[in-house]
Structure 1
Amino acid sequence: MKRNTTFFYLLSLLFLFNLGCNTQPSVDPETNLYKEDWSSLGQHNEAPQWFKNAKLGIYFHWGVYSVPAYSSEWYARNMHLKDHYVNKYHLENYGSLNEFGYHDFVPLFKAEHFDASEWAKLFKQAGAKFAGPVAEHHDGFSMWASKITPWNVMDKGPKKDIMKELKTAIDNQGMKFITTFHHAKHLQRSKVLGEEDKYSHYPFFADIPPSSNDPELAMLYGNIPPEKWHEDVWLGKLKEVIDNYEPDIIWFDYVLDKIPEKYRKAFAAYYLNQAGDKEVVIIRKQHDLPQSLSIEDLEQSRKKQIGTKTWMTDATISDGSWSYTKNLGVKSATDVLHMLVDIVSKNGILLLNISPKADGSIPENQKEALLSMGNWLSQYGEAIYDTEAWHHFGEGPTAQPEGHFKNKNVFNKLKYTAEDIRYTVKDYNIYAIFLGDPARGEML
């Protein structure tokens, strides 16, 4: 990266205090099993050292919604909303909802240029220590070879086990494997539970595909009795991925609090017990799982001060949609690095999203940004990886709001100066990272 993007300066100081990490008790040594209650599950070490050291992961919104490449990954919902601009676009380009429904995009999702090894290599070069797919977004299409739903990448669309190929390639690059789940919003709660429409991805209107009683279409559109959906679909899909792909990290999107508590407990106990001695991580938003069990995630925002516990930001490399759309703008590598440095200085970790095309290719502007990031991290990663927050995260004039999704636009527009400095520590070193280029000859 050019010198005028991010200036790195290292200060070595002796510490006179202990930088040891807190430890948590293990599970019952007699059974070595977690029970389905929060007290037992809370014995899990939610932030193992490998995770604290990683600092950067990469995932990607890529699926059936990448085919229309219009608006965002919420195309599947918005195409059904009368008077919505996505609905208008769909009618003009594909016809009525009954002529061409969301399920009709599935055969067009072919992933013909997808190369898991090339993707994993790129993520490694970008500096990621863990990577993996959006396993299932709100739309109900599974990115693995599922036996639970026919709407999966092995049976439809690409006709290959995308997750298996990614798991193998990411393992081969020495990275940890993350799978993210957004399927808590898949159930049509507005119809089967009479809840607000915002808690359902697909709106329920008569005489369009999401209201179909056809068993196959109902599985895609979430038109399923809630008891069956919670047990067989929501929990069943998680167990299937845990059993067949052994993710190191499982991350949840919002609306997880709408899943009855007994199923959330059942998931956590199953995942932790199946992991055995392997140190795994569970990540959630808001307060959807106890903090003693899981890592807090702040979407597109950050903490204002140092977090008392390890936390995460998930953010996208683009300026707009999380999935690929035509003419999608991309953040500069400098802006992403500044975000990463700010997060790490406050005891956080960045999960960065990219947006591949439906054919499985990654746009060149996204590749360039990732490689530029990796170039900087290959030179100065000493100040990022394996570090901890200092007692003071930094200084400088650029103000930040409280970390909350409603402030995402403020965070996305932040521009730092040479007076903005962030600190990290490792061993007996303090690292000072300048988020700008100090004037030549200026005393530091």
Structure 2
Amino acid sequence: MKLIASNLIAVMITMCCFAQQHNFNNNYITPTDTLVQQKIEQWQDLKFGLFMHWGTYSQWGVVESWSICPEDEGWTQRKGPYASSYNTYVKAYENLQTTFNPTQFNPEKWAAAAKNAGMKYVVFTTKHHDGFCMFDTKQTDYKITSSNTPFAANPRSNVAKEIFDAFRKDGFMTGAYFSKPDWHSPDYWWPYFPPKDRNVNYDPKKYPERWNAFKDYTYNQIQELMTGYGKMDLLWLDGGWVRPLSSVDTTVEWQRGIKDDQDIDMARIAKMSRTYQPGLMVVDRTVSGEFENYVTPEQTIPNEPLPYPWESCITMGNSWSYVPNDTYKSANDLVHMLVKIVSRGGNFLLNIGPSPNGDFSDTAYNRLAALGSWMNVHGEAIYGTIPMAPYEKDNVVYLQSKDKKTVYVYVLSNNKETVELPATISLSQINITQKSKIIYLDAPKEKIGMQQKNNQLTLTIPAGLQQKSGAIYAATFKIIL
């Protein structure tokens, strides 16, 4: 396995080369279900969540699923002893099931670290495109609880349930990531034909019985997740090429490759799911319309607020999956991402890929701890806030409370973690009164001057505070109007 890992390390994915660009919603439909509306509003107040991509692929330290997809060979080139033959490679990839044994798995440790970092919800990959299930499905034996998998003997082998239970006990909203395409299913990639790209490899209209079998397979697996894994707040569906052909937007490059109608009957799935989980948010990502309750820009942050609920999903490292010695974003960068995303009205879903042993890297834990130290001081200026124009100007970011009675002004650090404050800070579109107050969250006892002139508010920073702000990553001024 060490030889395989070393030979295949070049297959790792980076955020800049992910093949599918996820478009923004062009036809957002506000849910009519009041319970769903309430859940979305609650979720929007949480702001910060943990995403986890985990599967057998972590043993090779390669990109999740994509190396077995012929379409994406250009950026997931197969390496190592199995690379010369596609069929040999896929067989070896699927054989990873027989060695997957994450004995260090401890979801309570993950939940505690995430809670300390200020995260409020979790989304876990119950099944990625390769079809390997990280839950105890009854629909296939390609799963972590199969007798073919060493970890099946562990009392915590149903890892999805263990994760959801652990995070729920710590007060988290829980979400199940689920891949609509399944490249292991013979009813999606039918062995009669070779797979040619990420899509179904036969014409569903020509073979309706096979496609209906796949629809039932998908429905049944989602039903299992909605009935056997406790209270669910979110169903996060990936693989937007599985969609009605009528919904394809040919102005979006990646959607032009969808040639067949891959309708899996989302109305049926959503109705069933909400029967068991009232108020469930359904995110059929990139399929604009009724079943995309919020939008998921990937590895990017919009420049301005979007006119609907949204969430940026971004990796802490370069890869979604575990890669040995991955390069992780600094705590400084992560705080800046959080502040900017929230200032545009979005949520930040930060991904960490657990190792094949079942734990995060030390670097990931260190980043979570650093985020937690910052959030302990600044959390009130994150949770439950809404955007405020001009959102961001130079290195100053604006937010406000939902009742618009309090404004939060962030001054971001420049090229180092410590924030250096200028002598004065000019702010636009903030109007104070004689009763207004200002509190510097990083040093509440410091006196900050405020002077209003027309629509311009100027903050005066004491000389001693300019060089020793007491803040790292981002300093925050709370202005009570």
TM range (shorter): 0.7 to 0.9
Q: How does 1:281-292 map to 2 (within 5 A)?
A: 281-290=281-290
Q: How does 1:35-434 map to 2 (within 5 A)?
A: 44-45=36-37, 48-70=40-62, 72-74=63-65, 76-77=67-68, 86-91=77-82, 97=88, 101-155=92-146, 156-157=148-149, 158-159=151-152, 160-184=157-181, 186=183, 197-200=196-199, 225-231=210-216, 233-245=217-229, 246-255=231-240, 257-258=242-243, 260-261=262-263, 263-276=265-278, 279-290=279-290, 294-319=293-318, 321-396=319-394, 419-427=395-403, 428-434=405-411
CA distance in 2, matches of 1:193, 1:389: 53
Equivalent pair of 1:322/1:354 in contact (CA under 8 Å): yes
CA distance in 1, matches of 2:285, 2:158: 28
Equivalent pair of 1:390/1:423 in contact (CA under 8 Å): yes
Shift of 1:26: 4.4
Shift of 1:283: 2.0
CA distance in 2, matches of 1:191, 1:344: 44
CA distance in 1, matches of 2:56, 2:70: 13
CA distance in 2, matches of 1:195, 1:297: 31
**Matching residue's letter, 1:284:** D
**Matching residue's letter, 1:54:** L
Q: Which runs of 5+ in 1 are unaligned?
A: 1-22, 28-42, 205-223, 397-418
Q: Which moved more, 1:433-442 or 1:143-152?
A: 433-442
Shift of 1:254: 3.1
Matched residue of 2:82: which SS? Answer: helix
Q: Which moved more, 1:150-159 or 1:104-113?
A: 150-159
Matched residue of 1:177: which SS? Answer: strand
Residue correspondences, number? 359
Please say if 1:441 is aligned against 2:433: no
Shift of 1:93: 11
Counterpart of 2:258 in structure 1 is none
1:75–1:67 distance in 2 versus 1, CA, 3 Å: farther
Shift of 1:86: 3.8
Matched residue of 2:408: which SS? Answer: strand
1:219-266 per-residue CA deviation (whole Å, 9 max, x = no partner) reads xxxxx93221122x2221111101111321111223254364462111
Name the Cα RMSD after superposition: 3.2
**Matching residue's letter, 2:340:** D
**Matching residue's letter, 1:251:** W
Q: Which moved more, 1:427-436 or 1:89-98?
A: 89-98
Equivalent pair of 2:122/2:173 in contact (CA under 8 Å): yes
* TM-score, length-scaled by structure 1: 0.72
1:198–1:441 distance in 2 versus 1, CA, 3 Å: same
CA distance in 2, matches of 1:190, 1:95: 14
**Matching residue's letter, 1:234:** T
Matched residue of 1:430: which SS? Answer: strand
Equivalent pair of 2:83/2:89 in contact (CA under 8 Å): no
CA distance in 1, matches of 2:267, 2:59: 36
1:226–1:268 distance in 2 versus 1, CA, 3 Å: same
Shift of 1:122: 1.1
**Higher RCO (Cα < 8 Å, 6 or more apart):** 1
Equivalent pair of 1:284/1:297 in contact (CA under 8 Å): no
Equivalent pair of 2:71/2:196 in contact (CA under 8 Å): no
Equivalent pair of 1:57/1:130 in contact (CA under 8 Å): yes
* TM-score, length-scaled by structure 2: 0.67
Shift of 1:141: 0.7
Shift of 1:120: 1.0
CA distance in 1, matches of 2:410, 2:95: 50
Q: Which runs of 5+ in 2 are unaligned?
A: 1-29, 203-208, 245-261, 414-418, 426-458, 460-481
Q: Which moved more, 1:433-442 or 1:302-311?
A: 433-442
1:441–1:83 distance in 2 versus 1, CA, 3 Å: closer
Equivalent pair of 2:299/2:314 in contact (CA under 8 Å): yes
1:303–1:185 distance in 2 versus 1, CA, 3 Å: farther
Shift of 1:434: 1.7
1:342-396 per-residue CA deviation (whole Å, 9 max, x = no partner) reads 1111111111110110110110011111111111111101010011122432222
**Matching residue's letter, 1:244:** G
CA distance in 2, matches of 1:298, 1:85: 22
Equivalent pair of 1:389/1:424 in contact (CA under 8 Å): yes
1:381–1:148 distance in 2 versus 1, CA, 3 Å: same
CA distance in 2, matches of 1:84, 1:421: 36
Shift of 1:329: 0.8
Shift of 1:62: 0.8
CA distance in 1, matches of 2:104, 2:84: 25
The structure having more radius of gyration, on CA atoms, is 2
Q: How does 1:2-41 map to 2 (within 5 A)?
A: 26=33
